[in-house]
């Protein structure tokens, strides 16, 4: 199976330094610092809503600058840099236009990535990389050092920040709902619960399995007793092993001893898929949340430590739906 968001659109180009003909090792290396600078430019263009202003066709930079209250020369140069990497395009007459990639920066398209781009450039995710050496030397995330509290505590206290994160996650979910729900088999299940979800995934899952009813539970204490299956979608990768095992054991207790009950853990696995996006996202976990992306074997060990047995691992495009059943005898406590 292929995640539609990982499939190039017609006319779109995958931009990879290793794929550029004639690029020397030195050029490949220097591509990344340059791309980091351009990523900030793309974030700023997203903040200004430039893509929305180009929805009706190419426009002069001066015209765009007036529409978004920007300096014409500065906007021209930033757009030119983004166009150099295929995000926006410059017409022969000097006007700027959308490319397939820039189309995804529009706020009014179904598969918009604008909120995701905005989050990646947000202080919440950008600033921790400034102190990456702190994490390399201590093994501790930089987020608490910069913000004075953990990532989770910060989102609970700052509703604006939590809203920005929620919008980005919703954007991510909308783009792969059909694909990801296809990894989950609810045959024989009549009631499913998604733990700590936003409801979008659950709604799509129930649409695929109309014989099921479902609910979203905020914590394991509120999981309905008649739940036949529980879904954890990207809830564990933000947690260090010890906390992830604790959450899994809470789920194990909530599911009880009824035969046939299932847990579905939906996560990306390191070393699966090309490019290996989980290995890159793992840096966010390392620096921001203190969690980690894991290999398929590491996920299996973690799930076993939480009191479950993995019985199937349908996967594709770097995603795996670990299909689990409660172990007959929950394991003794481990330290992670």
Query: Where are the extended beta strands (E) located within the chain?
Result: 89-90, 96-97, 191-195, 213-217, 229-233, 262-270, 294-295, 308-312, 315-316, 319-326
For 51, half-sphere exposure in the C-beta direction (CA atoms, 13 angstrom radius) is 27
Q: Measure the CA–CA gap between 325 and 264, rounded to whole angstroms.
A: 9
Burial class (CB in 10 A: 0-12, 13-18, 19+), 32: exposed
pLDDT tens column, 283-331: 999 999 999 999 999 999 999 999 999 999 998 777 899 999 999 754 4
Q: Is the peptide bond before 138 cis (omega within 30 degrees of 0)?
A: no
- C-alpha 101/C-alpha 87 separation (Å) is 6
Residues 263, 17: Cα–Cα separation, whole Å: 40
Q: What's the CA gap between 251 and 334, in Å, rounded?
A: 16
Predicted TM-score of the model (pTM): 0.85
Which is more confident, 216 or 17? 216
CA 105, CA 114: separation in Å to the nearest integer? 5
- Can you read off the two tokens belonging to residue 127? 């600033």
For all residues of the chain together, what is the average pLDDT?
90
User: Does residue 8 have a pLDDT over 50?
Assistant: no
Rounded CA-CA distance 206/214 in Å is 7
Q: Are 308 and 248 in contact (CB under 8 A)?
A: yes
Q: Is pLDDT at 2 greater than 60 in this prediction?
A: no
Residue 178 vs residue 185, higher pLDDT: 185
- Per-residue model confidence as pLDDT tens digits over 28-73: 888 888 888 889 999 999 999 999 999 999 999 999 999 999 999 9
CA distances from 71 to 48, 50, 58, 60, 134 (A): 12, 13, 18, 13, 37
Contact 250, 220 (CB under 8 A): yes
Phi/psi of residue 118, nearest 5 degrees: -65, -40
- Three-state secondary-structure class, residue 169: helix
For residue range 200-237, list pLDDT tens digits in order.
999 999 999 999 999 999 999 999 999 999 999 999 99
pLDDT at 3: 43
- Please identify which residue in the block is written with the tokens 């995603």: 319
Task: Please report the pLDDT score of residue 15 as a whole number.
Answer: 44
């Amino acid at each position: 199976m292929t995640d539609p968001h990982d499939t190039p659109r017609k006319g779109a180009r995958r931009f990879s330094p290793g794929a550029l003909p004639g690029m020397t090792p030195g050029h490949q290396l220097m591509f990344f610092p340059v791309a980091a600078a351009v990523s900030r430019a793309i974030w700023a263009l997203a903040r200004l809503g430039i893509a929305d202003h180009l929805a009706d066709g190419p426009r002069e930079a001066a015209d765009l600058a007036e529409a978004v209250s920007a300096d014409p020369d500065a906007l021209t140069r930033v757009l030119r840099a983004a166009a150099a990497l295929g995000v926006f395009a410059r017409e022969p007459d000097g006007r700027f236009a959308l490319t397939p990639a820039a189309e995804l920066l529009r706020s009014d398209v179904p598969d918009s990535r604008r909120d995701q781009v905005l989050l990646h450039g947000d202080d919440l995710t950008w600033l921790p990389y400034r102190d990456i050496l702190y994490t390399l030397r201590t093994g501790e995330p930089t987020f608490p050092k910069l913000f004075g509290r953990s990532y989770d505590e910060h989102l609970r206290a700052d509703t604006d920040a939590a809203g920005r994160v929620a919008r980005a996650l919703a954007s991510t979910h909308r783009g792969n709902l059909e694909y990801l729900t296809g990894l989950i088999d609810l045959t024989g299940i009549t009631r499913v619960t998604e733990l700590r979800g936003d409801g979008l995934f659950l709604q799509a899952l129930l649409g695929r399995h109309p014989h099921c009813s479902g609910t979203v539970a905020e914590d394991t204490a509120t999981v309905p007793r008649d739940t036949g299956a529980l879904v954890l979608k990207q809830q564990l990768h933000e947690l260090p092993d010890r906390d992830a095992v604790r959450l899994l054991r809470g789920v194990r207790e909530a599911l009880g001893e009824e035969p046939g009950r299932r847990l579905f853990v939906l996560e990306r696995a390191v070393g699966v898929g090309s490019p290996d996006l989980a290995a890159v996202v793992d840096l966010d976990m390392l620096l921001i949340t203190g969690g980690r992306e894991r290999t398929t074997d590491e996920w299996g060990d973690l799930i076993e430590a939480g009191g479950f047995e993995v019985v199937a691992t349908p996967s594709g495009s770097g995603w795996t739906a670990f299909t689990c059943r409660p172990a007959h005898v929950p394991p003794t406590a481990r330290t992670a």
